């Protein structure tokens, strides 16, 4: 957990801003970074995916606001004559309770931070279930929690990846029960939660892979 917080310290402490409004609205003047590709590209400056600021932050926050108001976020009334909100998937409308973090200031970042913590802790549990030492398991958990995908993908494909180690941990729990000729219980629950969150996380293509 400390490693994840340190990896995101520049944003948590307000040293740098990761608010996509600063970069994509044309209202801010962000400083140039090493990965900038020039104003003529139409994506200046940007993350590795130009959807940043266009789907997760806007549609996710709308979904959370609708839940808060007692509405099921099935329909987006602000897009043309109306468009499916839950049905277009990237809003992650049913991704509870993580989606509700969008109600907080810089909520999308906080949701990603929470997912990194889930990814790291469940990877730690998975590696421990393989009988690795605490040191090896902790290092593995840290490496997965701050892996490159989480660093450069800030749109919906980020979300399902966080639950991969949870599903693998569930499989190992079931396998352990089977080896002991015991009825699998907790492993099935862990697998079910991991798969459900993968599918509701907003990008089922990643979950399918």
Helix, strand, or coil here: 45?
coil
Residues of the domain holding 107: 2-208
Residue 29: both structure tokens together: 């003047």
Query: What pLDDT, on a 0 to 100 scale, did the predictor assign at position 204?
Result: 84
pLDDT single digits (tens) 84-131: 888 887 888 899 999 999 898 888 888 989 999 999 999 999 999 999
**Pair 126, 175: CB distance under 8 Å:** no
Query: What pLDDT, on a 0 to 100 scale, did the predictor assign at position 67?
Result: 94
Query: What pLDDT, on a 0 to 100 scale, did the predictor assign at position 207?
Result: 85
Query: What pLDDT, on a 0 to 100 scale, did the predictor assign at position 65?
Result: 93
Query: What pLDDT, on a 0 to 100 scale, did the predictor assign at position 95?
Result: 92
Question: How far apart, in Å, are the Cα atoms of 50 and each of 42, 115, 138, 159?
Answer: 9, 21, 33, 16
CA atoms within 13 A on the CB side of 34: 0
| Total number of domains in the chain | 1
pLDDT exceeds 80 at position 179? yes
pLDDT single digits (tens) 36-48: 554 444 444 455 6
pLDDT single digits (tens) 181-193: 888 889 999 999 9
- Cα–Cα distance for residue pair 169/162, rounded to 1 Å: 13
* Percent above pLDDT 90 for the chain: 47
Question: How far apart, in Å, are the Cα atoms of 53 and each of 23, 35, 209?
Answer: 9, 18, 25
Residues 6+ apart with CB under 8 A from 169: 122, 125, 126, 129, 190, 194
Of 121, 119, 128, nearest to 159 (Cα)?
119
**Average pLDDT in the chain:** 84
Query: What pLDDT, on a 0 to 100 scale, did the predictor assign at position 43?
Result: 46
Banded pLDDT at 143 (limits 50, 70, 90): very high
Q: Is the peptide bond before 60 cis (omega within 30 degrees of 0)?
A: no
Span of 2-6, 11-15, 144-148, 178-182 with lowest mean pLDDT: 11-15
User: Nearest 5°: CA angle at 116, between 75 and 171?
Assistant: 90
pLDDT exceeds 70 at position 30? no
Of 117, 121, 202, 126, nearest to 158 (Cα)?
202
Question: How far apart, in Å, are the Cα atoms of 25 and each of 30, 56, 79, 180?
Answer: 11, 15, 18, 58
pLDDT single digits (tens) 51-88: 666 777 788 889 999 999 999 999 988 888 888 888 88
- Cα–Cα distance for residue pair 204/18, rounded to 1 Å: 25
Rg over CA atoms, the chain: 19
């Amino acid at each position: 957990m400390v490693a994840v917080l340190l990896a995101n310290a520049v944003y948590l402490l307000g040293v740098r801003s990761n608010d996509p409004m600063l970069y994509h609205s044309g209202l801010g003047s962000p400083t140039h970074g090493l990965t900038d590709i020039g104003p003529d590209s139409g994506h200046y400056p940007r993350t590795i995916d130009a959807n940043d600021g266009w789907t997760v932050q806007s549609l996710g926050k709308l979904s959370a606001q609708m839940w808060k108001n007692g509405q099921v976020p099935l329909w987006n009334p602000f897009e043309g004559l109306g468009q499916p909100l839950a049905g277009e998937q990237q809003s992650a409308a049913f991704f509870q309770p993580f989606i509700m973090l969008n109600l907080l200031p810089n909520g999308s970042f906080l949701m990603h931070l929470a997912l990194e913590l889930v990814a790291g802790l469940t990877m730690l549990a998975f590696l421990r279930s393989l009988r690795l030492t605490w040191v090896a398991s902790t290092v593995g958990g840290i490496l997965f929690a701050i892996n490159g995908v989480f660093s450069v993908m800030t749109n919906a494909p980020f979300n399902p990846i966080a639950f991969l180690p949870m599903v693998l941990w569930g499989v190992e729990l079931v396998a352990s029960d089977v080896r002991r000729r015991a009825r699998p219980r907790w492993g099935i629950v862990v697998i079910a939660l991991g798969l459900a969150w993968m599918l509701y996380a907003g990008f089922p293509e990643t979950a399918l892979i």
